[in-house]
Chain A
Amino acid sequence: MADVTMRIWRGDASGGDFENYTIAQNEGEVVLDVIHRIQATEAPDLACRWNCKAGKCGSCAAEINGKPRLMCMTRMDDLPEGPVTVTPMKTFPIIRDLVTDVSFNFAQAEKVPALLPPPMPVGGYRMFQEDVERGQEFRKCIECFMCQDVCHVIRDHEGNKQHYAGPRFFIRYAELEMHPLDQNDRRDLVREDMGLGYCNITKCCTEVCPEHIKITDNAIIPLKERVVDAHYDPVAWLGRKILRRDKRSASEAAVQPAP
Chain B
Amino acid sequence: MTTSPYEHHDYDVLIIGAGGAGLRAAIEAKQRGLRVGIITKSLLGKAHTVMAEGGMAAAMGNVYEEDNWMVHFRDTMRGGKYLNNYRMAELHAKESPDRVWELEQWGALFDRTKDGKILQRDFGGHRYARLAHVGDRTGLELIRTLQQKVVSMGTDVFMECKVLKLTHDADGRIAGCVAYWRPSGEFVTFSAKAVILATGGVGRSWKFTSNSWEGTGDGHAMALWAGANLIDMECIQFHPTGMVWPLSVRGLLVTEGVRGDGGVLRNSEGKRFMFDYVADMFRAETAESEEEGDRWYDDHTAGRRPAELLPRDEVARAINAEVKAGRGSPHGGVYLDIATRRSPEFIRRRLPSMYHQFMELAGVDITREAMEIGPTCHYIMGGVKVDAETAATAVPGLFAAGEVAGGMHGANRLGGNSLSDLVVFGKRAGMGAADYVESGAGATSFELSEVEDAVKEALAPFERTTGENPYDIQRDLQELMQANVGIIRTGSEIEEAITKLEEFNERVRNIAVKGGRAYNPGWNLATDLPSMLTVSRCTALGANLRTESRGGHTREDYPKTDAELGTLNFALSSDGGNWDSPVSAQKSPLLTIPDELKALLEEAK
Contact = CB atoms under 8 A, between A and B. Distances in A.
Contacts of A51: 42, 46-48, 50, 212-214
A258 B153 contact: yes
Interface stretch (B108-116, B233-241, B273-281, B397-405): B108-116
Given A44-B514, A124-B104, 13 more contacts: A29-B248, A39-B521, A44-B470, A44-B515, A45-B515, A45-B522, A59-B42, A97-B519, A99-B183, A101-B183, A115-B107, A124-B101, A259-B106
Contacts of B141: 139
B516 A45 contact: yes
A53 B212 contact: yes
Contacts of B214: 51
Interface stretch (B67-75, B144-152, B562-570, B584-592): B144-152
B599 to A, nearest CB: 28
A139 B43 contact: no
A128 B137 contact: no
B341 interface: no
Contact of B245 (A28, A40, A112): A28
Nearest to A142: B140
Interface string A35-52: 000011101111111111
Contacts of A181: 104
A115 B429 CA distance: 25
Given A51-B46, A54-B253, A136 B109 contact: yes
Given A51-B214, A59-B42, A95 B183 contact: yes
12 contacts: A27-B247, A28-B249, A40-B469, A48-B521, A51-B48, A57-B212, A96-B183, A125-B101, A127-B116, A136-B135, A139-B134, A258-B153
A128 B116 contact: yes
A162 B316 CA distance: 53
Interface size class of A (residues with CB under 8 A): 35 or more
B140 A45 contact: no
Q: Is the interface of A mostly helix, strand, loop or mixed?
A: loop
A84 to B, nearest CB: 15
B197 interface: no
Contacts of B101: 120, 124-125
Contacts of A12: 518
B514 A128 contact: no
Interface in A166-197: 176, 179, 181
A50 B45 CA distance: 12
B105 interface: yes
Contacts of A136: 109, 111, 134-135
Interface stretch (A102-110, A148-156, A224-232): A102-110
Contacts of B525: 44
A40 B520 CA distance: 12
Given A51-B212, A99-B183, A28 B362 contact: yes
Interface of B: 42-48, 50-51, 60, 101, 104-107, 109-112, 115-118, 134-135, 137, 139-141, 144, 148-149, 151-154, 159, 183, 212-214, 245-249, 252-253, 353, 356-357, 360-362, 469-472, 475, 513-516, 518-523, 525
A38 to B, nearest CB: 11
A75 interface: yes
Nearest to B360: A73
A181 B107 CA distance: 9
B43 A53 contact: no
A54 B107 contact: no
A140 B469 CA distance: 38
Contacts of B248: 26, 28-30, 33
Given A45-B521, A52-B51, A75-B361, A27 B134 contact: no
Given A51-B214, A57-B50, A179-B107, A126 B115 contact: yes
A55 interface: yes
A56 interface: yes
Contacts of B247: 26-28
A117 interface: yes
Contacts of B110: 132
A34 to B, nearest CB: 9
A216 to B, nearest CB: 21
A150 B109 CA distance: 28
A52 B153 contact: no
Contacts of A28: 245-249, 361-362
Contacts of A259: 105-106
A45 B214 CA distance: 17
A123 B149 CA distance: 22
Contacts of A101: 183
A179 B44 CA distance: 23
B356 A124 contact: no
A135 interface: yes
B352 to A, nearest CB: 8
Contacts of A57: 45-46, 50-51, 212
A58 B514 contact: no
Contacts of B118: 124
Contacts of A125: 101, 104
A132 B134 CA distance: 10
Contacts of B153: 258
Contacts of A99: 183, 519
A139 B144 contact: yes
Nearest to B102: A120
A176 B152 CA distance: 14
B316 to A, nearest CB: 20
Given A44-B513, A139-B141, A140-B137, A56 B50 contact: yes
Chain B CB within 10 A, most for which of A30, A33, A51, A123: A51
B46 A58 contact: yes
B116 A50 contact: no
A106 B44 contact: yes
B116 A55 contact: no
B109 A132 contact: yes
A209 to B, nearest CB: 12
A139 B248 CA distance: 28
B521 A44 contact: yes
Contacts of A23: none
Contacts of B109: 127, 132, 135-136, 139, 179
A207 interface: no
A96 B46 CA distance: 19
Contacts of A142: 50, 140
Given A56-B137, A57-B51, A109 B360 contact: no
Interface string A13-29: 00000000000001111
Contacts of A39: 471, 521-522
Contacts of A114: 106-107, 148-149, 152
Contacts of A58: 46
